[in-house]
Every structure is written in C-alpha cells, then in structure tokens.
Amino acid sequence: MHKIDHIALAVKSLSTAVPLFEKLLNTPCYKIETVEGENVNTAFFQNGETKIELLESISDDGVIARFIDKKGEGMHHIALLVEDIYAEINRLKTAGFIFLNEEPKKGADNKLICFLHPKCTNGVLTELCQEIKT
C-alpha cells in the first residue's frame, strides 16, 4: 500500500521560499540538503504524515532550472513511499508504465528513488521512493 511521502515544488530561491513555507505551514524547515547528482538544493517541511519538499536549482541548466523556464515555479512531482522499490518497478513495468530511470538512485532524505515518465501518469511526474535501511 502506498502513501504519499512528499509533494515537491520547484522554486527559484530557497532563501525566499523557505521562510514563506515556514509561515504557511507554521513549522520550521527541518532539513536542507544538496543532491549533487541532480544539481538541486532541497528543503523539507513536515506537514502531518506528508512532507513538502522545495527544490532549487544550483545550476542554470539543471532539471529544475529548465522546468521553471518552461512552466514557472510550482508543483514538480508527487512521491509515493513503497516498501520494496525493486518489486514496485517490476510490478509497474509489467503493467505497462515507463520509467525515466529504471535503476533506483540515491535521492535526498535517505531515500532510493526513481521516476515514472509523466506521459504515462497523466502528466504528473511521479516518484517512487523507499527508505534506505542502514
């Protein structure tokens, strides 16, 4: 059974978006983390069971910079928490879904992540994530 782990929003600047979301959600940002491989800085807020992740590009040609150029700031992806990401990838591939990366990679917040292609999920970029057990 899935639950929504987080909803991610593309923002131009964490330095303005973080205080705004701290006010909006009435909770402090609990983690800021850079994901080098993705050229993004991430900021996390807990909102009930679900997290809000803000994504800021650290390069002019990174995926988030290009997303904002095309669509402006706003909703970037939703992330579904799964127990076994490899089993879910197999299940969804068998069901005809297409992945942007079939091999899970390390994302922010101690997670293995992979993305489904938005063309097979009604235009909504969807991430699967699994806690990395240590």
Which residues of the chain form contacts with Zn ion (CB under 5 A)?
A: 8, 79, 127
Between 74 and 94, CB nearer to Zn ion: 74
Angle at 50 between CA 49 and CA 53, to 5 degrees: 150
Closest distance of CB 77 from Zn ion, Å: 6
Cβ–Cβ under 8 Å, residues 104 and 31: no
Cα–Cα dist 74/90, whole Å: 30
Instruction: State how far the alpha carbon of 108 is from the alpha carbons of 34, 111, 123, in Å.
Output: 8, 6, 23
Closest distance of CB 127 from Zn ion, Å: 5
Between 79 and 81, CB nearer to Zn ion: 79
Between 75 and 87, CB nearer to Zn ion: 75
Closest distance of CB 108 from Zn ion, Å: 7
